[in-house]
Structure 1
């Protein structure tokens, strides 16, 4: 057999196509034509799913250069539907990789033996024992390291003690890619990435929403003290101080003796919404503002978060507990703060807003907020490139290559930090932006400019161009959203922003004009559609052509500037979209939906808790809550892998779970799929449970009268046959996998037969060892599969074929016709035909041999088995 087969899909290198057969060659040629690509130039591996009519054309650029090459691009051609899907992994930090590549090559290929030797070495230490950990580069390299090995070329080498080589590269990374340990990973992604420990500890204390908003945006890193105005019982203050942060508070009831003190950060959390007197409410707000040196965070209760309960009073309600509540909409609280403080608040979460007194800090916050933190450039260590061409040597004499390399190696850490800063800024850093490294750089190179020239001479200029383009896009997004908010022009620009605009745009007017043009483009539905299609091609979410793009919030920062502005405009109205899990960009309607799920990261089927629809054209927001207490059942999210990508935590496990679920075909999962209650009922009825990211059979047996398939019960399959009826033996399976085998037999074979011919009559079903001893006549439990998965006294399977079997009749039907139909339309294991009016024996088991046996009578009356084709079954015995 040519190629490597995985889950009924065959992979083969293009060098095998000439000998793969005329039919496959024709399919591949048609796929090439439809995708508009050429073999060898655009792809070098083919994945064939002939049963599904799909051909994937895959490009592994380093197929022969790396032991486990990474996928770069793919085209999925559905020959039946006439569609072509495209995906690029150019920006992926965790692309799919190829294993056992020798199986894709012809038997006489000169490179096959080397790859086979590496595969054998990997098998010897169990590297292929966990399929969900080997398909993607990050999980694979983690697994190799866990086993105490590393990949060096085409060799698997043990890792000894620390070899002290901090710059050791890891096989499989692109030449300009970061080492795995240093690769930047966006929030919520990455196998080994961890949030700051101190913030994790803070969350465990149950901090209030405004304090968590400060933590999320990096203000609780220990540099800025916080004062809690209206601190209540002081829970936030105690939690912050317990984590080593500077915090104090005052409350007119619980802590009136504490002094009111200015602070960089002031929290006014859920205070003004409980003050019934409007003048006193305004006084509380302005008093907190007067204490603020850098940032005031205000939090209130939203009307659409908690339905007002109680009787109307003033501009709010008196609750049943005798307290006052003033419920706001997001628009109302924003307008109130603007009017009261003459400042422009920034919504960062539902009911939570930031108001900056320090305008430089505000500009830095907004720039950082709309910045693409996903750029793979930001932490790429410097790598010396080959010497310049000889023509440069005549004009500018260069040191010998070894001198350059020696000088670079001697100052690697210093230059790496400078390189990272350069890429981060998207422009050459100024002396005050280099920090403590400046004296060392001047001592070695004379000036910062000379150090930058030396560094640039060792690097690919394309990396700097990409960094500059990314930074320019970030500034365009920031400026466009400022104009969308109609924020008042700043009296002066933050120094770093001034430099960026001057270098990247020339002047502030040109930057503003470019940003305005970008902002106006969000009205262009075709431009939005094109950007969404480009995002989907990069693995950023699930595209419904012409309708929407839906993706995880962690991927938003990787979108094109146009879509980041689209999402940012919604965030201006709503607050921080990162509070949600999924973002749905509606292409033509000017809407954006945010969806929040329960346990989105850790569950293969997260349940929807909240949906927020932001209508940009109407400047309004609708909230929808789901769950038992709301009256709206919380639905499951089916096919979660569509909305994430290979860099997301547990992606391989999620993909494997969905493949299993789709293969089982328990129900129709298209569209929104069945309700959670219906899905749970189907899962239980068909004897499946979800255990983490695994679908497995339950550990307990079913009620005998529970359905086994759609038409039968377990009791009918167990309590059938003359001997069981005569003896009354319970005949119960002792092993749970015997029940599972009966379930599979009913679903895969018996249900289709009953659907087509009507109800069957079972003449012999499951047979326990106790029942087998009572049966007179010729039976062979070691082969007939009636014992299912039961064991003998030695603990070994009674029937090595396992599975399960029954004998049955269909009244008033020619059993030859029944047998022919069954053989042609079901995935049976073995079928024995005895005659037109006799029961047929059929099994379903792991071998899936699809063997048809006709029992032929001999002259002495004995029946002799003869393997035949289904079409050879006739009414004669």
Structure 2
């Protein structure tokens, strides 16, 4: 019997926009216009063409559509949705190794995930499915994909979002990427005169709690500042900066640095000289030594395992605290205590943070991080759950559930409880909740968590919603 030949080229689909992993790489600063890009297994080459139109030095190779492209080393190599369609596990590893050999900076790997299985009809074959179009698909779990890339490249990889993995050639590039996620960057504004340039120096100092290094000042500001010496610059900043804001910035930089060093245990703690220059400056300014900074970060990391400490932090955090977990809106997460920020960031480093989330859940019975999406949180008085993605921190197993296509979806009440009190929408949501309580809508809490039960209570109480206002039914 003749062996069936899989038509891999049929998986190359047309897209109306950049693919998800390319968009993610742009957001993360992985793709930069001054770096050469090779899309290895580019399919019809739509990402390549769109990147060119955006000013990137991009080219694509594909065994079916673009076999004539020269395969030489590029700074960035994309291997997007290629490993899925290869039916031979050994060939998958070889393809991944070939892509790794072609990059001098970063390899971006993206694959389809197991929770997409329900969207595919096919016949089981090997470790995947053969579809009716005679194509093959192997679906990965986020952990399986990351482990594969780790083993083949021999590096500690990073997963920015489920289904995407970055493998960096140089440790300093990986440390710099992780620092961007943990330490808030300062966005310099354009300056046309000396006064505005000095204002930017002062704003940086108030934000970071320290004056900028010469290397941190944008090249465009240096000619304006002229021959201002370091001593003179410090005197100008000291005269103009608010001591209270500088103290707040110092505290913020200290906590951000502890957050970064705490999570570095997952990706390998570097020598001080290998850290990004900005992180080195923060450590030298906020701590007596690098050793002290690492020791404090380790103590903070150990506190995540302390149930009573975590619950205490949750009681002092924005968000809704229940018997099992803390729920926090995305806008309020910067106000969480640093141990909870570290808790969430560990989940991100372990399994990737999904795009489009707006409600964070941190369990205090056990250790689990979940990100959920309520797309209409601000526009709908009782938004419904679209999906949730979570990772068990003890096993690093991740799971995904979709609710958006169900007929009776979970929904939220008391939206103000998920926000910080300073949030501009907090008052509006609170007034709605108070009106709903007066109307008796929360008398049966066991049934209002789903759409059907909530509609039943609205009818029982003779009220309806107009935006964030409760009105009586005629």
Q: Is TM more than 0.5 here?
A: yes
* 2:156 alignment counterpart: 344
Instruction: Note closer, same or farther for the CA distance 1:645–1:424 as it changes in structure 2 (3 Å cut).
Output: closer
* 2:103 is the alignment partner of 1:292: yes
Q: 1:493 to 1:279 in 2, by over 3 A?
A: same
Kept after mapping to 2: 8 A contact 1:583/1:595? yes
Give SS of 2:249's match.
Answer: helix
The question of whether the paired residues in 2 share the 8 Å contact of 1:250 and 1:256 is answered with: yes
Q: 1:655 deviation in Å?
A: 4.2
Query: Structure 1 residues 242 and 598 mapped into 2: Cα distance closer, same or farther (>3 Å)?
Result: same
Query: For 1:221 and 1:260, how far apart are their aligned partners in 2?
Result: 20
Which residue does 1:607 correspond to in 2?
384
CA distance in 2, matches of 1:668, 1:235: 55
**Using a 3 Å threshold, how does the CA distance of structure 1 residues 472 and 593 change in structure 2: closer, same or farther?**
same
Q: Aligned-pair distance for 1:519?
A: 0.8
Q: How does 1:215-254 map onto structure 2 within 5 Å?
A: 215-219=26-30, 222-254=33-65
Where do 1:115-194 residues align within 5 Å?
none
**Cα deviation, residue 366, structure 1:** 0.5
Q: CA deviation at 1:330?
A: 1.6
Alpha-carbon distance between aligned partners in 1 of 2:188 and 2:447, rounded to the nearest angstrom: 41
CA shift digits 1:621-661 (9 cap, x unpaired): 233322446xx842112222221246657555544544444
In structure 2, the CA distance between the partners of 1:666 and 1:253, relative to structure 1 (3 Å rule), is same
Following TM superposition, by how much is the alpha carbon of 1:666 offset from its aligned partner in structure 2, in angstroms?
A: 4.3
Measured at CA, do residues 495 and 548 of structure 1 come closer, stay the same or move farther in structure 2, by a change above 3 Å?
A: same
SS in 2 for 1:207: coil
- Paired position in structure 1 for 2:329: 552
Rounded Cα–Cα distance in structure 2 between residues aligned with 1:439 and 1:242: 32
Cα separation, partners in 2 of 1:253 and 1:423, compared to 1, 3 Å: farther
Shift of 1:576: 1.6
Measured in 2, the distance between the counterparts of 1:442 and 1:559 equals: 41
Cα gap change, 1:685 to 1:668, in 2 (>3 Å) = closer
Query: The residue matched to 2:390 in structure 1 has which SS?
Result: strand
Equivalent residue for 2:320, pick from 542, 547, 550: 542
Structure 1 residue 309, shift from structure 2 partner: 5.1
DSSP-derived class of the 1:501 partner: helix
TM-score by length of 1: 0.48
Query: Matches of residues 420-459 of structure 1 in structure 2 within 5 Å?
Result: 420-436=203-219, 437-443=221-227, 446-459=228-241
List per-residue Cα deviations over 1:775-810 (Å, max 9, x = no partner). xxxxxxxxxxxxxxxxxxxxxxxxxxxxxxxxxxxx
Cα displacement (A) at 1:271: 0.8
Q: What's the CA shift string for 1:753-796, capped at 9, x where partnerless?
A: xxxxxxxxxxxxxxxxxxxxxxxxxxxxxxxxxxxxxxxxxxxx
Instruction: Determine the C-alpha separation between the residues in 1 that align with 2:421 and 2:32.
Output: 31
Q: Report matched runs for 1:385-404 at 5 Å.
A: none
2-structure distance, mates of 1:264, 1:314: 35
TM-aligned CA deviation for residue 532 of structure 1: 1.3
For 1:525, the equivalent position in structure 2 comes to 307
Using the alignment, how far apart are the partners of 2:75 and 2:444 within structure 1? 52
Q: Any conservation in 2 of the 1:441–1:451 contact (CA below 8 Å)?
A: no
Q: In 2, Cα distance between the equivalents of 1:331 and 1:214?
A: 19
In the aligned structure 2, how far is the partner of 1:357 from the partner of 1:666? 57
| Alpha-carbon separation, structure 1, partners of 2:361 and 2:37 | 36
Partners of 1:227 and 1:579 in 2: CA distance: 28
Q: C-alpha separation between the residues in 2 aligned to 1:435 and 1:259?
A: 37
Structure-to-structure mapping, 1:30-49, within 5 angstroms = none
Separation in 1, partners of 2:269, 2:229 = 40
Q: 2:452 aligns with which of 674, 677, 688?
A: 677
* Residues in 1 aligned to 2:73 and 2:422: alpha-carbon distance in whole angstroms: 44
**Alignment counterpart, residue 644 of structure 1, candidates 397, 400, 419:** 419
Aligned with residue 363 of structure 1, among 175, 178, 181: 175
SS at match of 1:231: coil
**Per the alignment, do residues 548 and 664 of structure 1 end up closer, same or farther by CA in structure 2, a change over 3 Å counting?**
same
1:279 matched to 2:63? The reply is no
Aligned-partner Cα distance in 1 for 2:52–2:449: 48
Which position in structure 1 is the counterpart of 2:143? 331
Distance in 2 separating the partners of 1:525 and 1:336: 33
Q: Measure how far apart 1:687 and its partner are.
A: 6.9
Look at both structures and tell me which one has the larger radius of gyration over its CA atoms.
1
CA distance in structure 1 between the aligned counterparts of 2:458 and 2:35, rounded to whole angstroms: 52
Q: 1:109-158 CA deviation, whole Å, 9 max, x = no partner?
A: xxxxxxxxxxxxxxxxxxxxxxxxxxxxxxxxxxxxxxxxxxxxxxxxxx
- Equivalent residues of 2:79, 2:107 under 8 A apart: yes
Q: Distance in 2 between the 1:334 and 1:260 partners?
A: 25
CA distance, structure 2, for counterparts of residue 520 and residue 342 of structure 1: 28
- Say which SS state the counterpart of residue 304 (structure 1) adopts: helix
Structure 1 residues 348 and 601: alpha-carbon distance in aligned structure 2, compared to 1, 3 A threshold: farther
Matched-pair contact (CA < 8 Å) for 2:18–2:50: yes
Equivalent residue number for residue 415 of structure 1: 198
Give the match's secondary structure for 2:109: strand
Q: Quote the residue 1:475 is aligned against.
A: 257
Of 76, 79, 102, 1:268 maps to 79
- Of the candidates 393, 402, 410, which is equivalent to residue 625 of structure 1? 402
Two-structure CA RMSD over aligned residues (Å): 3.2
Post-superposition shift, 1:494? 3.2
User: 1:324: how far off?
Assistant: 1.4
Among 369, 376, 382, the residue aligned to 1:592: 369
Q: Distance in 1 between matches of 2:439 and 2:188?
A: 44
1:588–1:683 distance in 2 versus 1, CA, 3 Å: closer
CA 1:250–1:686 in 2, change beyond 3 Å: closer, same or farther?
Answer: farther
Once the two structures are TM-superposed, the CA of residue 346 in structure 1 deviates from its matched residue by: 0.7
Structure 1 residue 341 displacement after superposition: 0.3
Taking the TM superposition and a 5 Å limit, the aligned residue runs for 1:558-577 are: 558-576=335-353
Separation (CA, whole Å) in 1 of partners of 2:128 and 2:344: 32
Q: Report the Cα offset of residue 348 of structure 1.
A: 1.1
Could you tell me which runs of 5 or more consecutive residues in structure 1 were left unpaired when the two chains were aligned. 1-203, 382-409, 698-739, 744-877
Classify 1:233/1:694 alpha carbon distance in 2 versus 1 (closer, same or farther; 3 Å): farther
Match of residue 256 from structure 1 = 67
Structure ranking higher on relative contact order (CA contacts 8 Å, 6+ apart): 2
5+ residue gaps, structure 2:
1-14
SS in 2 for 1:607: coil
TM-score norm. by structure 2 comes to 0.84
Closer, same or farther: CA 515–351 of 1 in aligned 2, 3 Å:
same
SS at match of 2:316: helix
In the superposition, relative to structure 1, how do residues 312 and 563 fare at CA in structure 2: closer, same or farther (>3 Å)? Answer: same
- CA–CA distance in 1 between the matches of 2:241 and 2:103? 46
1:424 is displaced (CA, Å) by 4.2
